């Protein structure tokens, strides 16, 4: 019987993440919960950028759609958390389908610019309707509302477990997608779209599917962020939150399922420690990215895969 090394590796990583809560301090446990939510966001981005080759600068709009889809339904319509979470995912997925249908009429740099324009339009819309969205100031979800039955999602332990479950499910879904027939078509589109078309595949529905799936991941991360950390604000729709998943994927390894997790951990703690040294912490991040381009262009796990037999998906 053939041993599925890739599946065993990913399940081992999931198990290791779960076990880390028992050896980490409350501070680092809280950090890891935040990292897992952001890594879920970046995992979806990796499907679009790393596997399909589509560079988007508008993913913050989907993240914010998930966040506001969950947060505003709880704030104004008294949705319980268990209903608000899927509402956020649905909002982001629908928006991704709409924007993907329009943006995919372009290619290359034009696609990047169009997604950026949509994201900026969404950001300005959130600011314009400040009366409801609270703009950059945002609003906080009451702790009492952030619960599923008797499970308090604001508590440190349950927050970590919830973040771990969301990331684990997202990781396994991403692994299944990239190893499926559709995933192989996405990779073929990334490598040579014209040749893929010559082989009888229509790239558009596959690329649209990648946008929609990626948007759903972003929406799940945004909704989870609102429920677990209680913060909802227009700043999460800014360009910064479109660039972050790109940095996570580039540093960890584009086109590697575990790359976003590694990149999220490295960037998060790099910024965390750099802030203790200087207020210009982004300079440190910039230096790290320059070193990445010079010595490990495929990212940490991408470089490791290149030096091995390439079995890492």
Residue 80 located in a structural domain:
yes
* pLDDT at residue 97 in the model: 97
Q: Does residue 65 lie within any of the structural domains?
A: yes
pLDDT tens digit string along 94-104? Answer: 999 999 999 99
The pTM (predicted TM-score) of the whole model is: 0.94
State residue 1's pLDDT score.
Answer: 45
In a 3-state reduction of DSSP, which class is residue 151? strand
**Count of domains in the chain?**
1
CA 226 to chain centre: 14
Task: Determine what percent of the chain is predicted with pLDDT higher than 70.
Answer: 98
For 252-267, letters b (16+ CB in 10 Å) and e give: bbbbbbbbbbbbbbbb
74 assigned to some structural domain: yes
Range in 154-158, 248-252, 255-259, 284-288 with the lowest mean pLDDT: 284-288
Please name the residue that has the structure tokens 């390894």: 253
In a domain, 139, yes or no: yes
Which domain range does residue 207 map to?
A: 5-238
Average pLDDT over residues 296-300: 81
- Three-state secondary-structure class, residue 152: strand
The pLDDT of residue 187 is: 94
Mean pLDDT within 268-293: 81
What gap in Å lies between CA 141 and CA 67, rounded to an integer? 11
Computed on alpha carbons and rounded to an integer, the radius of gyration of the chain in Å comes to 19
**150: nearest Cα among 80, 86, 87:** 80
Within-domain flag for 220? yes
In a domain, 287, yes or no: no
Flag whether 302 is in a domain: no
Chain centre to alpha carbon of residue 94? 17
pLDDT at 282 (0 to 100): 76
Residue 125 covered by a domain:
yes
């Amino acid at each position: 019987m053939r041993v599925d090394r890739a599946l065993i590796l990913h399940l081992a990583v999931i198990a290791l993440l779960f076990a880390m809560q028992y050896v980490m301090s409350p501070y680092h446990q809280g950090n890891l919960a935040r990292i897992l939510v952001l890594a879920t966001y970046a995992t979806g981005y990796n499907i679009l950028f790393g596997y399909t080759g589509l560079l988007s600068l508008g993913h913050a709009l989907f993240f914010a759609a998930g966040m506001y889809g969950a947060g505003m339904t709880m704030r104004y319509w008294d949705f319980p958390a268990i209903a608000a979470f899927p509402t956020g995912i649905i909002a982001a997925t629908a928006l991704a389908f709409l924007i993907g249908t329009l943006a995919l009429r372009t290619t290359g740099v034009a696609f990047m610019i169009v997604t950026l324009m949509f994201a900026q339009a969404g950001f300005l819309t959130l600011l314009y309707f400040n009366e409801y969205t609270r703009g950059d100031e945002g609003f906080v979800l009451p702790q009492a509302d952030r619960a599923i039955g008797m499970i308090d999602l604001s508590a440190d332990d349950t927050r970590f477990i919830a973040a771990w479950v969301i990331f684990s499910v997202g990781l396994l879904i991403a692994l299944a997608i990239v190893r499926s027939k559709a995933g192989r078509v996405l990779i073929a589109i990334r490598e040579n779209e014209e040749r893929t078309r010559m082989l009888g595949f229509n790239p558009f529905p596959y690329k649209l599917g990648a946008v929609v799936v990626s948007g759903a991941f972003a929406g799940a991360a945004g909704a989870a962020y609102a429920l677990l950390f209680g913060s909802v604000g227009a700043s999460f729709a800014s360009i910064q939150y479109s660039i972050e998943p790109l940095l996570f994927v580039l540093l960890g390894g584009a086109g590697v399922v575990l790359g976003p997790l590694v990149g999220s951990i490295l960037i998060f703690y790099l910024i965390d420690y750099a802030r203790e040294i200087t207020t210009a912490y982004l300079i440190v991040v910039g230096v790290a990215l320059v070193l990445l381009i010079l010595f490990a262009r495929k990212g940490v796990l991408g470089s490791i895969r290149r030096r091995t037999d390439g079995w890492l998906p």
